[in-house]
């Protein structure tokens, strides 16, 4: 048994987040969440598909989203929104014309998809402003969004300039990323922002696989190149997110390389979806190794935050049971019964 000696968040120089659901914000799980974390990301319920009814209209209520906002309001925490534009977990009709055929890259179809992207972002911004007040005001704890997610190709792809050839990309080209950030900036940081508040919502790009090393053909390089292009076009990108879904075989130094890569750019960074798979089943030996790994990872995160440019570190779930990687082996800091693991001790930096 690993004793719960202190709140994890007290051991961090940056806000500590957990991906979660309404049901983990109350009762026993809610106590663990509130004791150890000061930020939450909705694991699924702010994704595009969460916002539409079967007849394609924007929902009148999203109780899962509200529950996370309420938790943050009552605990003094923050909500990190996930995700405005993604190729996954989005209704198919986004990319279809009225006849049900696929949108093409014609000017007319481009206008249709851009219009849907703008309406989608505007409606979400309005949704929370209506319920919690303008962004940047005391009652509204939403402070960040993953604006786009996983837009980089997994392998070198000259034809798409390193971009994933998603439905978004195929219709709009790389410009859909610019559009998403500009629409989000307008909505969250202007139209629905409290007067006088300076950019209350930080806008992130988010990506997986940046722990794969730093070389000319790495995903990290393609990611860096895109961020550089966006900044050159003066796209309002505030932050660069690294999912960091890793395993015990991932060299922990690669997390450092990924964060170092962006250090000189005018952006903050976030670890957005950290988990460490041990292999299944997770034996005690593997769990101890995981504790060491997590300790080294958090030492890297803390060291990187010396100049306060780490916006937050988020673990992708609260307790192992229910983790999306459960069958890759116990990836989180608390076990199936919400008890602290070696990984918890590692994150605190216990000897």
Measured from the CB atom, is 47 or 110 closer to ligand XIL?
47
Does residue 83 have a cis peptide bond before it, meaning omega lies within 30 degrees of 0?
A: yes
Q: Which of 324, 326, 339, 350 binds ligand XIL (CB under 6 A)?
A: 324
* 273 is known as an active-site residue: yes
Instruction: Return the structure tokens found at 226.
Output: 């895109």
Cα 191 from chain centroid (whole Å):
23
Residues 6+ apart with CB under 8 A from 35: 4, 7
Q: Is 189 helix (H, G, I), strand (E, B) or coil?
A: helix
Measured from the CB atom, is 273 or 305 closer to ligand XIL?
273
**Dist CA 229 CA 137 (whole Å):** 32
* 150 is known as an active-site residue: yes
Measured from the CB atom, is 295 or 317 closer to ligand XIL?
317
Question: Per DSSP, what are the bridge partners of residue 149?
Answer: 206
Does position 174 interact with ligand XIL (CB under 6 A)? The reply is: no
Measured from the CB atom, is 44 or 74 closer to ligand XIL?
44
Sign for the CA dihedral angle at 24, 68, 199, 89 comes to positive
Instruction: Return the structure tokens found at 131.
Output: 């319920």
Using CB under 6 A as the binding criterion, the count of chain residues that bind ligand XIL stands at: 7
Shortest approach of ligand XIL to residue 325 CB, angstroms?
Answer: 8
Q: Which of 25, 62, 75, 149 binds ligand XIL (CB under 6 A)?
A: 149
* Burial of 118: CB neighbours in 10 Å, binned 0-12, 13-18, 19+: middle
Q: Which of 34, 166, 170, 243 binds ligand XIL (CB under 6 A)?
A: 243
Question: Annotated catalytic residue: which of 64, 207, 211, 273?
Answer: 273
**Dist CA 184 CA 176 (whole Å):** 12
Does position 43 interact with ligand XIL (CB under 6 A)? The reply is: yes
Shortest approach of ligand XIL to residue 23 CB, angstroms?
Answer: 13
Does residue 281 have a cis peptide bond before it, meaning omega lies within 30 degrees of 0?
A: yes
Does position 326 interact with ligand XIL (CB under 6 A)? The reply is: no
Shortest approach of ligand XIL to residue 208 CB, angstroms?
Answer: 6
First to last CA, the chain: 16
**Dist CA 146 CA 205 (whole Å):** 6
Measured from the CB atom, is 204 or 298 closer to ligand XIL?
204
By beta carbon distance, the residue nearest ligand XIL is 324
Q: 276 and 290 in contact (C-beta within 8 Å)? A: yes
Shortest approach of ligand XIL to residue 264 CB, angstroms?
Answer: 26
Instruction: Point out the residues that are catalytic.
Output: 150, 273
Q: Which residues bind ligand XIL (CB under 6 A)?
A: 43-44, 149, 208, 243, 273, 324
């Amino acid at each position: 048994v690993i004793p719960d000696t202190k709140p994890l968040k007290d051991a961090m120089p940056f806000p500590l987040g957990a991906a979660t659901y309404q049901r983990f914000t109350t009762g026993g799980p809610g106590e663990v969440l509130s004791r150890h974390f000061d930020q939450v990301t909705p694991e699924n319920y702010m994704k595009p598909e969460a916002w539409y009814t079967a007849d394609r209209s924007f929902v009148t209520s999203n109780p899962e989203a509200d529950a996370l906002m309420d938790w943050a309001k009552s605990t003094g925490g923050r909500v990190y929104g996930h995700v405005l534009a993604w190729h996954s977990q989005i209704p198919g009709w986004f990319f279809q014309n009225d006849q049900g055929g696929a949108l093409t890259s014609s000017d007319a179809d481009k206008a249709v998809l851009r219009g849907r992207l703008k309406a989608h972002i505007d409606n979400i911004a309005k949704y929370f402003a209506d319920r919690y007040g303008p962004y940047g005001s005391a009652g509204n704890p939403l402070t960040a969004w993953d604006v786009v997610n996983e837009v980089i190709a997994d392998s070198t792809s000259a034809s798409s300039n390193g971009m994933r050839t998603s439905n978004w990309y195929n219709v709009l080209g790389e410009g859909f990323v610019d559009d998403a950030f500009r629409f989000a900036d307008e909505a969250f940081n202007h139209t629905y922002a409290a007067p006088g508040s300076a950019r209350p919502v930080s806008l992130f790009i988010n990506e997986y696989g940046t722990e794969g090393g730093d070389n000319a053909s790495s995903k990290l390089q393609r990611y860096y190149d895109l961020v550089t292009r966006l900044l050159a076009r003066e796209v309002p990108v505030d932050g660069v997110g690294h999912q960091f879904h890793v395993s015990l075989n991932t060299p922990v130094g690669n997390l450092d390389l990924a964060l170092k890569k962006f250090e000189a750019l005018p952006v903050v960074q976030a670890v957005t979806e950290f988990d460490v798979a041990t292999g299944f089943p997770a034996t005690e030996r593997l769990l101890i190794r995981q504790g060491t790994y997590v300790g080294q990872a958090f030492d890297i995160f803390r060291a990187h935050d010396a100049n306060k440019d780490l916006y937050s570190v988020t673990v992708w779930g609260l307790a192992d049971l229910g983790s999306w990687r459960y069958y890759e082996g116990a990836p989180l800091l608390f076990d199936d019964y919400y008890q602290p693991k070696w990984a918890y001790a590692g994150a605190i930096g216990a000897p």
